Amino acid sequence: DSGVTQTPKHLITATGQRVTLRCSPRSGDLSVYWYQQSLDQGLQFLIQYYNGEERAKGNILERFSAQQFPDLHSELNLSSLELGDSALYFCASSPRPNTGELFFGEGSRLTVL
């Protein structure tokens, strides 16, 4: 158990819909990362927050947005969903903003039908 909690574990929705994925980092970790894992594109970095502020941005679509709240949990919002958004979305956390030693949650599997 990494200490990172993600909900929901599984989500099935239709194209055009909007979903919110939630992540609670390890106790004491200030940095949260979101990654997307799909068969065709592998693991792709989406975005990083540190203590509520955006610190790094990857290939995150404009239809996607994220935020980190004062209690350090984070949410990833995916809107106008397309079939290609079906993937496993991982949240990871770390105590510092510039370390590659990340602790990953078990992921939220999104299926868009």
Partner 1 sequence: GEDVEQSLFLSVREGDSSVINCTYTDSSSTYLYWYKQEPGAGLQLLTYIFSNMDMKQDQRLTVLLNKKDKHLSLRIADTQTGDSAIYFCAEKELTGGGNKLTFGTGTQLKVEL
- The residues binding partner 1 (CB under 8 A) are 2, 4, 31, 33, 42-43, 45, 48, 50, 53, 55-58, 90, 92, 97-107
Provide φ and ψ at 85, rounded to 5°: -85, -10
Query: Which C-beta is closer to partner 1: that of 50 or that of 64?
Result: 50
Residue 61 identity: L
Are the C-beta atoms of 90 and 103 separated by less than 8 Å?
no
Closer by beta carbon to partner 1, 71 or else 101: 101
Q: How far is the CB of 19 from partner 1 (least distance, A)?
A: 19
CA 17 to chain centre: 18
Smaller CB separation from partner 1, 17 or 98? 98
Which token pair is 18?
């909007």
Q: Is the dihedral of CA 29, 27, 63, 109 positive or negative?
A: positive
Shortest distance, position 84 Cβ to partner 1, whole Å: 18
In whole angstroms, the minimum distance from the beta carbon of 103 to partner 1 comes to: 8
